[in-house]
Structure 1
Amino acid sequence: MDLSCIPPMVTAPPLYVDLDGTLIASDLLIESALVLVKQRPLAIFDLLGWILQGKATLKTRIAQEVELDVAHLPYDHEVLALIARARSEGRKVVLATASHRKYADAVAAHLRVFDAVLATDSQRNRSGLAKLEAIQADADGPFCYAGNSAADLPIWQAAESAIVVTASPALVRRAAARARVDAVVRPAGMGIAAVLRAMRLHQWVKNLLVFMPAVPLAAQLGWPAVWTLLLAFFCFGLCASSVYLLNDLLDIDADRQHPTKSRRPIPSGAMPLAWAVMLTPILLLAAFGLAAWRLPWLFAVVLVFYWALTMAYSVRLKRITVVDVLLLAGLYTMRILAGAAVIGVIPSFWILAFSMFLFFSLASAKRYIELADAQRRQKMSMAGRGYNVADIPVVLTQGIAAGQIAVMVFALYIQDPVATQHFRMPYFLWGVAPLLLYWISRLWMKALRAKVHDDPLVFAVKDRQSQVIGTVCAGLIWGAL
C-alpha cells in the first residue's frame, strides 16, 4: 500500500479521517443501539421515536444512556499507519465523523493521534454535506480526506486528495472519477466467507439430533420421512444461525475481550454490523417459513419455543449460574423433540433422560473450558456470565457425574423391554455403552489438560478418535436393528 497522501512538506494540507468503516471496522451507531436494547429491551420503541426526530437526536439520546469500550474497537492498522505517516510529516490530523461527539472524543483520547475532532452533536448530524461544511470551515483551504462509503463522495470531490478505505472496486472507481486517489486500503476478511463463518455452519452438526428419534424406526420409515427430517434439519440450522448472529451482536463488547471469540467475523469487523442486523431476521423468517410450508404444525411450535428460549438465554438466562447449563442441555433435547414431532412419534422416557444427562455434561464441559481459560488468563470471572473461577470444582464434578449417569441410563435402556420392540438384536448395543463411557471420560480429561478449545460437540466432529468411535457406534446400532 502506498502510504503517501501528499509529498512531505510543512504546509501540506491537513488529513481528515472518518471513524465508522474507516478508522474502525464497525458502526458506532449500530453498536450503541444494540447495547441500549440489550440493557433495556423495551428501548427499541424509544429508538423508533427518536428516529422520527432525526439522526442528531437519535445519536444524542443513545449516547446519553450508553457507554462504549473504545479500547477494544477493531481499529484498522493500515489507517493508523497513514495517520502516523501524516503526523511524522508535521501535518494536522483531524477525526471527522458522523458518530456522536461523546464516542469520537473517547476514541481520540484513547489513540492520542488527533489534533481535533469534528462530530455529530445534539444540533447537527455531521454526515455527507454537513461533514464537508465542517471540514471546509476547519481546514480553510486544501485538505486530504480518508473515508469509506458513497456518502463520502462529495467530500472526496472537494478534497485535494482522497484515501479510500473499502473492499468495493466499484466505490474506488467512483472515487477516482471525482478525486485524486492517493491510497486505497482494502479491509481484510470481508465477503461471503465472513458471512458464512458468522452463521457458524459447523454448529449445524448439532441439528443432526433431529434424526435421533428415527433411529429405532429406521426399518419402518420411507424416503418421504427422511426428506422431511432433512427439511427440519435445515429449519433448525437457519433458526440457530439467526440466533448466533444476534448473540454475537449483543455480546460484541465482551467477545472483543476474549482471546478466541474476538476473531469471530462480527466482533473483529470482518462482517459489517449492518449486514448482520439485516441477515438475522431474514434467516429467522426463512426458518419459520419453511416450517409452516412443509412441516407438521407441532414441529413449528417446537421451533418457536426453541427460538424463544435461545432469545431468553442470549438476553438474560446465560448470566444465571446452573440455569444456563440446564437451558443449554434443554436446547439440545428440543432438537430431539422436534425430530419426534416431524415423524409423529412420542419420544420415550429413555431417550429424554439419556439426552438430558448427556447434554448437561457437554454443556458443563463448555462452561468448564471457558472458566479454565479465564483462570489461565488470570481473570476471576467470565464476562457476561454468572460464574467465577471458584466455581470450577462444582462445574467439573457436575459435568463428569452427569456424563456417567447418561451411560447408566443407556445401559438400563438396553435391558428394558421397550428396546426389544425397536431392535432385533439389542445386545449389540452393549458395545456402545463402554465406547460412550470412554468418549465422555476422554473428553473431560482433555478438557482438564486444556486440549479442548471449542464447543465439545464441535471438538467431537474434528477429533479423529471421536470420529472413529462415532462410526463404530453407528455400526453397532445398525447391527442391532
Structure 2
Amino acid sequence: MDPNPPDVPLCVDLDGTLVATDTLWESILLLLKQNILQLLLLPLWIIQGRAIFKHKIAQQVTLEVANLPYRENVLLFLQQEKKSGRSIILATAAHYSIAQAVFTHLKLFNEVIASDAHTNMKGITKRDALIQRFGNRGYDYMGDSTADLPIFQTARQPFLVAPTQQLLKQIQCPPQQILAVPTHHWQTLLKAIRPHQWVKNLLIFLPLLLAHQWFDVTKWINVFLAFITFSLAASSGYILNDLMDLAADRAHPTKKYRPFAAGLLSIPTGLILFVSLLGASLLMSLWWLSGYFTGLIGLYLILTISYSFYLKRKLIVDVLVLAGLYTHRILAGSVAVNALISSWFLAFAMFLFTSLAFLKRYVELLQLTDEKAIKHRGYEITDIEMVASMGPTSGYLAVLVFALYINSDKVSILYPSPFFLWLVCPLLLYWISRVWFLARRGKMLDDPVQYALTDITSWLIVVTIIILMLLAKFA
C-alpha cells in the first residue's frame, strides 16, 4: 500500500511550517514601520476578533512573500510529492491575500484555504473546513504547532515540521514523517544580542582616560557599570533594528543570515528580548548610576528607535545619526564619571564616526545590485561615488581637528611633551586611507568596527597611539 497515495491531498500549514516565521507578526511590524501611530489602532482591531484583525492589517500592508525564510527541506519534500501526482493544499490561518501571494510565488499548490474578514482559519475552524472539503481521514496534514492538534486528529496521517517536545508527546508520528530543522541554542540568542558589538561601547571609557583620572577606583567602577548598562541598551536597539529591517536584511548577501531574518528566532522572542534588555538597562542605570545617565540612555533609545522606524531610510540623515550615536557614547561616559569633554575631541569624534558611517553605507552599495534592496536605505547605486568622496573627506577632517587640538593651550597643560601627539596624525591618516582602500577592493565587512576587531594592523595602530599618548604625558 502506498503510504502517500496520490489521491489523498497533502494540506500544508504556512506559518512555522512552510516558512520559519509568522506572517501576521511580520505584517504587524511592517505596518508599524510604515506608520508607528498605527499602533494605537491595533487594540481597536483585535477586540473585533482575530479574523477582522488580520483583515485590517492585510488591507494596510503588502508582505514581500518572495523574501520569506522558506524551509528548504519542506519545499523539497513538497516538490517531490507534487511530482508523484499528489494535490498540495495550502491550508493556513494567515490572511487569504498572503496565502494567495505565496501560492502565486511558489507555483506549487493546487488550492488555497485561508482566513478572510469573517473566518479565522485556525484550529477547529480549519479542521472543519478540511473535513468539509476532503472528508474525515481524507487528507494528510503538515504542521508544527499544538494549535494544529484538532487537525492532526482527523487527518489520515500527520507530518510534523520542527515539532516541540510537547507536540511530539501528543502526536504519534513515524520518524520518517518528521521534518526536523537545525536546532539552535543559546548561541543563536547571543548572535542576536551581538555582544561583539559591545566593543563600540568602550568609547564610554575615553572621558575617564582623557581626563587622566586613572587611579580613581570609584570612577572606574562607575564607568564599568555604565559600560554594562549601555551595552544592554545597545543590544536592545540591535534587536529592534533587526526586527524592523527583516525585508532589507533578507535581500542582503550577508545580513540574510541574521537570526530573525533567517527565521532562527521568532519575532515574539525578539520582542521579549528587546523589552528585557531595555528594562534591565534602565533599572541598572537608575540603581547604580544617576538620573542624568539614565536620561542619556533614554535619549539613545529614542534615537535608535527613530532610526529603526524612519531615519535609516533618509539620505545623509542616517549617516549623521549613526555618527551621533557613537559620539553619544562618549557623552554618556563623561556623565558617568563627571568628567568634562573637550569640544575639540567631540568634533574629532563626530568627523571620524561620520567617515565610518559612510564606509558602512559604501560597503553595502558595493555589495548590493538589487535596486529595490538599496532603496531601503535611501541610496541608489549611482550614489556610490559621492559616498566614496564624502567618507574619506570626513575622516581627514577628523585628523585636521586633532592637529588643531595639539596646538591648543589645553594640550600643554595635560601633555608636557606634545610632540609625540603629532605622530598620531600620520597613523590616523594611514588607517583611514587603508580601510577605504580595502573597502574599495571588496575586502571590508559591512561593519568596519567588526573588521577592525579582527585586523592586526588596526590593533597595532591602536597600541602605538596609546604608547605615543603615554610618552606625551610622561616623557
Provide the TM-score with structure 2 as the length reference. Answer: 0.94
Summarize the Cα distance change of 1:303–1:45 in structure 2 as closer, same or farther, 3 Å threshold. Answer: same
1:171 maps to 167
Q: Which string of whole-angstrom CA distances, capped at 9 and with x for unpartnered residues, describes residues 49-81 of structure 1?
A: 111111111001111111111111111111112
Question: Aligned runs of 1:169-318 on 2, under 5 Å?
Answer: 169-176=165-172, 182-188=176-182, 190-318=184-312
1:328 alignment partner AA: L
State the shift of 1:170 in Å. 4.0
State the shift of 1:245 in Å. 1.4
Indicate conservation of the 8 Å contact 1:162/1:181, yes or no. no
Question: Aligned runs of 1:331-342 on 2, under 5 Å?
Answer: 331-342=325-336
Question: Aligned runs of 1:93-132 on 2, under 5 Å?
Answer: 93-132=88-127
1:23 maps to 18
The separation in 2 between residues aligned to 1:357 and 1:9, in whole angstroms, is 68
- When structure 1 is superposed on structure 2, of 439-448 and 157-166 the one drifting more is 157-166
State the shift of 1:188 in Å. 2.5
1:344 maps to 338
Q: Which string of whole-angstrom CA distances, capped at 9 and with x for unpartnered residues, describes residues 88-134 of structure 1?
A: 33222211111111111111111111121111111111111111111
The alignment's C-alpha RMSD in Å is 2.0
Summarize the Cα distance change of 1:346–1:187 in structure 2 as closer, same or farther, 3 Å threshold. Answer: same
The separation in 2 between residues aligned to 1:392 and 1:408, in whole angstroms, is 25
- When structure 1 is superposed on structure 2, of 275-284 and 350-359 the one drifting more is 275-284
- Could you say what secondary structure the match of 2:243 adopts? helix
Indicate conservation of the 8 Å contact 1:175/1:181, yes or no. no
Indicate conservation of the 8 Å contact 2:136/2:154, yes or no. no
2:28 maps to 33
1:371 maps to 365
The separation in 1 between residues aligned to 2:441 and 2:400, in whole angstroms, is 26
Summarize the Cα distance change of 1:140–1:378 in structure 2 as closer, same or farther, 3 Å threshold. Answer: closer
The separation in 1 between residues aligned to 2:281 and 2:44, in whole angstroms, is 30
314, 317, 332: which one aligns with 1:323: 317
2:380 is the counterpart of 1:388 = yes
Indicate conservation of the 8 Å contact 1:410/1:433, yes or no. yes
User: Percent of aligned positions with the same letter in both sequences?
Assistant: 42
In structure 2, list runs of 5 or more residues that go unmatched.
none
2:323 alignment partner AA: A
Indicate conservation of the 8 Å contact 1:381/1:387, yes or no. no
- Could you say what secondary structure the match of 2:41 adopts? helix
Indicate conservation of the 8 Å contact 1:207/1:236, yes or no. yes
Indicate conservation of the 8 Å contact 1:161/1:180, yes or no. no
State the shift of 1:404 in Å. 1.1
1:334 alignment partner AA: H
Indicate conservation of the 8 Å contact 1:242/1:279, yes or no. yes
- Could you say what secondary structure the match of 2:374 adopts? coil
Number of paired residues? Answer: 472
Q: Which string of whole-angstrom CA distances, capped at 9 and with x for unpartnered residues, describes residues 218-270 of structure 1?
A: 44442221121122112221111111111111111122112111111111111
Indicate conservation of the 8 Å contact 2:364/2:446, yes or no. no
2:403 is the counterpart of 1:411 = yes
Indicate conservation of the 8 Å contact 2:6/2:86, yes or no. yes
Indicate conservation of the 8 Å contact 2:161/2:181, yes or no. yes
The separation in 2 between residues aligned to 1:108 and 1:259, in whole angstroms, is 25
The separation in 1 between residues aligned to 2:298 and 2:324, in whole angstroms, is 14
- Could you say what secondary structure the match of 1:212 adopts? helix
Summarize the Cα distance change of 1:6–1:199 in structure 2 as closer, same or farther, 3 Å threshold. Answer: farther
1:152 maps to 148
2:439 is the counterpart of 1:447 = yes
Summarize the Cα distance change of 1:169–1:65 in structure 2 as closer, same or farther, 3 Å threshold. Answer: same
In structure 1, list runs of 5 or more residues that go unmatched.
none
The separation in 2 between residues aligned to 1:87 and 1:115, in whole angstroms, is 9
2:81 maps to 86
Provide the TM-score with structure 1 as the length reference. Answer: 0.93
1:398 maps to 390
2:426 maps to 434
2:35 is the counterpart of 1:56 = no
- Could you say what secondary structure the match of 2:112 adopts? strand
State the shift of 1:180 in Å. 5.2
Summarize the Cα distance change of 1:396–1:292 in structure 2 as closer, same or farther, 3 Å threshold. Answer: same
Summarize the Cα distance change of 1:8–1:380 in structure 2 as closer, same or farther, 3 Å threshold. Answer: closer
Summarize the Cα distance change of 1:140–1:21 in structure 2 as closer, same or farther, 3 Å threshold. Answer: same
2:459 is the counterpart of 1:467 = yes
Summarize the Cα distance change of 1:299–1:68 in structure 2 as closer, same or farther, 3 Å threshold. Answer: same
The separation in 1 between residues aligned to 2:378 and 2:286, in whole angstroms, is 37
The separation in 2 between residues aligned to 1:8 and 1:284, in whole angstroms, is 50
Summarize the Cα distance change of 1:220–1:469 in structure 2 as closer, same or farther, 3 Å threshold. Answer: closer
Summarize the Cα distance change of 1:227–1:185 in structure 2 as closer, same or farther, 3 Å threshold. Answer: farther
1:136 maps to 131
35, 41, 47: which one aligns with 2:42: 47
The separation in 1 between residues aligned to 2:217 and 2:159, in whole angstroms, is 58
State the shift of 1:424 in Å. 4.6
Q: Which string of whole-angstrom CA distances, capped at 9 and with x for unpartnered residues, describes residues 313-332 of structure 1?
A: 22222222222211111111
The separation in 2 between residues aligned to 1:277 and 1:173, in whole angstroms, is 28
